[in-house]
Amino acid sequence: MARDLTGVRRIRNYSNVEKQTIGEDQLPNDNLRYELARLDAKLDIIINQLMSGASSAPSASNRGGTISTSEIALMRSMTTKQHCTLQLVEIGARNQDIAAILDVAENTVKLHVRAVCKKMGVKNRQQAATVAHDIYKNIDPTEYERLSGGIPLDWSDHVKQGVPDPYAPLYAPTRKDR
């Protein structure tokens, strides 16, 4: 009675989730999206283990340990540009340096940093850098690249201001000439 799971395609756009009432409590959209992403990440892990016939032991390719399901959901919830911003924040780059690398305004960088902090549940960039460092230390580089939309885990080590970046099409702003 085994079903072929290789053809399964799940929809992962949770942006249309409305406020839901559970009992007397109303759950805001962000909480629902986070919980759905968390459950989705758990399903991915289970399906991958079933398809590969792997045991429940952590992967030997992980850098230092295992990454939790909530950390996977967090990484999945961020945009590619937010991943780039977080990597640069983690290495201590200033907003103006990040703006120059990403080719955006400094205020846009502030918005990205604020959005990353909100998603991570932290209050400032130092806390975000600490959490990111712990995640980067434990995540498998190929898993991170998949979750980040194609940005490698060591991208921030190689990107330089004024030097063409081969990954720029993944995070660069798309401007229409009018």
Please, are residues 107 and 114 in contact by the beta-carbon 8 Å criterion?
no
Please, are residues 109 and 98 in contact by the beta-carbon 8 Å criterion?
yes
How do residues 84-133 score in pLDDT, each as one tens digit? 999 999 999 999 999 999 888 999 999 999 999 999 989 999 999 999 99
Cα distance between residue 84 and residue 107, in whole Å: 16
Cα distance between residue 33 and residue 16, in whole Å: 9
Name the residue with higher pLDDT: 38 or 128: 128
- The pTM score is 0.62
Cα distance between residue 72 and residue 86, in whole Å: 15
- pLDDT at position 62: 41
- pLDDT at position 65: 57
3-class DSSP state of 28: coil
First to last CA, the chain: 57
Ordered by where they begin, the domains of the chain are 20-171 (1.10.10.10)
How do residues 135-174 score in pLDDT, each as one tens digit? 999 899 999 999 998 999 999 988 988 888 899 888 886 6
Cα 85 from chain centroid?
A: 11
Cα 146 from chain centroid?
A: 9
Name the residue with higher pLDDT: 40 or 133: 133
Q: Which helix (H) or strand (E) holds 136?
A: helix 125-138
